[in-house]
Amino acid sequence: MSQDRDLDTGNGNGAGNEEVFKPIIQLLIREGHLTIQQAQYARRVSSKLHMSKPLCEVVRELGYVTDENIRQTVRRNQGELRIGDLLNGLGYLTDEELNRALDLQLQGGRQQKLGDILIQHKFLADEKLTEILAMQLGLPILELTAKEPDPGLMSRGPVEYYEQYRFVPFDMQPDGAVRIAFVDPLDPRSLDAARDYFGKNIVVCITRVSQLDDVLSKRKEELRIGNGADLNRLNIVEIANSIVLAAFKRGASDIHVEPMADRLRVRFREDGVMVHFRDYPIGAVAPLVSRFKIMCGADIAEKRRHQDGRLIFNHMGVQIDLRMSFYVTVYGEQIVMRLLKNQEELLPMHELGMLPGMLSRFMDEALDAPSGVIMVTGPTGSGKSTTVYSCINYLNRPEVSIITAEDPVEYKVRGIGQCSIMPSIGLTFEETLKHIVRQDPDIVVIGEVRDHFSAEMCIQTALTGHKVLTTFHTEDSIGALVRLLDMDIEPFLVSSTLSCILSQRLVRRVCPHCAVPYQPDLSQLRRMGCTYGDLAGAEFRKGRGCAACRHSGYKGRLAVYEMLIPEVFIRDAVLQRKTTHELRVISVEKAGMISLMEDGITKAAIGMTTVEEVLRTLPRVQKPRPLADLRRILGV
């Protein structure tokens, strides 16, 4: 934490700015309350005094500034001051004391806040620090001993988070603003952390360190033991219902119910990112797990083995399809629930996120082709199932017979024959795939290529004139080709039956309600392999954060694709067993393949996502082409 930051004081009040003053003096100069000449004179006066005085006190005694000038300057520029700047500049800490406190903070790896160190090592009393901050910053003091913080607000965040950033939510005002008690309201990380959980509409208040610690200790103890009165008040059925409904309303894809050493934590996966929802007392673990087991038909007596289940949740006219997994951990059974879409929620092809040039080619050369294997690849959670089901929805017509083998069936689609694999009764992939072609299908959907047998079945089914849709866990399109060959599938079979390999990832979509133009920095462009010249004409946008996106800047997700249509050059390269690098070069130069990174860059350049999301999610395997070329190929 640097306490000698040189603020710009070049405002015409002096000919030079050679001398560096402490931050409060610099701010007084910048705001016109003090000239550089006055500050220099005050420094000379201070140096001749027998007893050292802070420069702020000297300029005040000389009549250059008033107490009110200092207070208003501090309040207007809170974002540029640190707690050490303030206390040292006003004379509450000497230079030696501040340096000692900063050394102690550095020795602890900056894990402890400076305010906590000042109190712990008795540089300042707890009450005195709070009074100084309140008076100088004009912020109200919250006495946490007089009234306890709202339990509902407290449960929104984990105790460790409040401990790390040194704040607690106190109550909600009639206008919806949340009053939050901070130990150090000058710490930008604490302010940002509070806004992440409680939105931009917060009222910043101050509390004593000891009172905050007492509240957090009490909260941890409540979560650890979950006393009988608390559990009696908890209606487990209502809690279970409220968790599912909250996840549904927030558009979450997964619910995580996680027993921990001292509490039960509930988190949601929203737009691909884990978000804390609420903490419950540790005593709620067993009854809540039992409740969810009853709901999905799992064995409530079995607590030593992992289990799976599924249920259709109906509540007040809301119907939610849930796939559930119970996993035995050292602290109890952990539950993960996947929220599945209904058929009405399946995306039409034009809403998958493919840009016009790629979508047109995918539909013409892959989906509308009479036969061949269409393979959708990517890691777990990359949206493969959504894409496959959208393709099924597009192909599902009265004159077409579609049959599936899935493990398990994720979305029920009217008009097609869907089979859910059940190894427990001998209904395996191997057994099912032997019978599937006897059902006279036009289109076969195989949930996933897992091994040589399922890969060979896809190929053989396509050779008999069927269209096959399947998924595959590989990094990219070229990786799928190489993996099939590694599974000992003959190169001539791979080259003759694959009609399309579609690799994909999911990135967060920029919130349309708060999107503003921005310019990514050069280091980000370098990580993508680009220069500003490569991205001429780009219109980058990012969300500022608003109520609609819960102040994240993102709302919803968007797929990024890499599509490989194996043309004659690719087929020849496969037959010749070219290397991965050679296959990629040929695919880009001869088959017009757009890489994942290139598709992501294009979508960031037209404001659909951000450069940060592209870098977070997408692999870079070669230098991207200039944006102008990508726009031309993708039709944007």
CA angle 24, 30, 32 (to 5 degrees): 105
pLDDT at residue 421, rounded to an integer: 81
**Considering the chain, what percentage of its residues have pLDDT values greater than 90?**
38
pLDDT at residue 4, rounded to an integer: 39
User: Among 471, 567, 487, 588, which Cα is nearest to 580's?
Assistant: 588
The shares of helix, strand and coil residues in the chain, as percent rounded to the nearest 5, are 45, 20, 35
Tell me the β-bridge partners of 427.
Answer: 422
Q: Tell me, what amino acid is at 130?
A: T
Indicate the pLDDT class of residue 111, thresholds 50, 70 and 90. low
Mean residue pLDDT across the chain: 86
* Candidate ranges 42-46, 229-233, 561-565; pick with highest mean pLDDT: 561-565
**Dihedral of CA 277/280/286/288: which sign?**
negative
Over residues 491-505, the mean pLDDT reads 93
How would you classify the pairing of strands 202-206 and 178-182? parallel
93-102, 374-383, 557-566, 595-604: segment of lowest average pLDDT = 93-102
Tokens at 152, concatenated = 């509902």
42-51, 387-396, 572-581, 619-628: segment of lowest average pLDDT = 42-51
State yes or no: pLDDT of 426 exceeds 90. Answer: no
- Measured distance CA(550)–CA(430) in Å, rounded: 46
Interval 196-227: pLDDT, tens = 888 888 999 999 888 898 888 888 777 766 54
Q: Is the pTM of this model over 0.85?
A: no
* Candidate ranges 81-90, 114-123, 289-298; pick with highest mean pLDDT: 289-298
pLDDT at residue 361, rounded to an integer: 94
CB 250 within 8 A of CB 232: no
User: Among 219, 225, 128, which Cα is nearest to 168's?
Assistant: 219
User: Among 469, 409, 414, 418, which Cα is nearest to 439's?
Assistant: 418
Over residues 84-90, the mean pLDDT reads 78
Helix and strand element counts for the chain (H, E): 27, 18
SS3 86: helix
pLDDT at residue 225, rounded to an integer: 62
- Measured distance CA(538)–CA(525) in Å, rounded: 12
Over residues 339-354, the mean pLDDT reads 81
Domains of the chain: 23-124 (no CATH), 151-225 (3.30.300.160), 228-340 (3.30.450.90), 345-506+559-602 (3.40.50.300)
- Measured distance CA(178)–CA(202) in Å, rounded: 5
CA angle 406, 409, 412 (to 5 degrees): 130
Interval 457-482: pLDDT, tens = 899 999 989 999 999 999 899 999 99
CB 596 within 8 A of CB 562: yes
pLDDT at residue 7, rounded to an integer: 40
User: Among 261, 276, 184, which Cα is nearest to 221's?
Assistant: 261
Strand order in the sheet with 264-270: 273-280, 264-270, 254-259, 332-340, 318-329, 307-315
Interval 166-203: pLDDT, tens = 999 999 888 888 999 998 888 888 888 888 888 888 99
pLDDT at residue 26, rounded to an integer: 86
Q: Which helix (H) or strand (E) holds 557?
A: strand 554-564
